[in-house]
Structure 1
């Protein structure tokens, strides 16, 4: 279950700006994208992941992704960060 990976990760990155930065630095293990997020927001991240060879996993909703990240609001994008 993708949400379990987010919950169990020692370090996560939440949001497009933070996650983009981490991908560019080569620190991301896997990126999680909410299916109900605005594609104009998520497409850049998905394309960057393809370019950098990072695994993208789609999850059902922003609300559930936010909850898995331990935040009260929805999250369009989150990533597990390698130390």
Structure 2
């Protein structure tokens, strides 16, 4: 999926807390992670996604991920809900 198609998704959750909750509930199709966020911030959610065989897409920066999600600030993670 192209990054700029994210904002067109109806079932999009943005941010660590919402993304982690969705991953833990097993409701995620794809996890997007910004490469420039601190690794300790996203380590648990990435590990959980790998355990559940969820597709992980790495995005160049938090700023680009935020823009792709249609928000004015950077985002460390975003998920598309199944």
**Preserved CA contact (<8 Å) 1:2 1:57:** no
Q: What is the total number of aligned residue pairs between the two structures?
A: 82
Worse overlay, 7-16 or 72-81? 7-16
CA distance in 2, matches of 1:6, 1:42: 20
Q: Which residue matches 1:26?
A: 26
Q: Which residue matches 1:43?
A: 43
CA distance in 2, matches of 1:63, 1:4: 13
1:40–1:2 CA distance, 2 compared to 1 (3 A): farther
Shift of 1:20: 0.8
Task: Provide the TM-score with structure 1 as the length reference.
Answer: 0.91
CA distance in 1, matches of 2:22, 2:78: 11
CA distance in 2, matches of 1:5, 1:50: 23
RMSD, aligned CA: 1.2
Shift of 1:13: 0.9
CA distance in 1, matches of 2:50, 2:2: 19
**Preserved CA contact (<8 Å) 1:2 1:59:** no
Shift of 1:78: 0.4
Shift of 1:72: 0.6
Q: Which residue matches 1:67?
A: 67
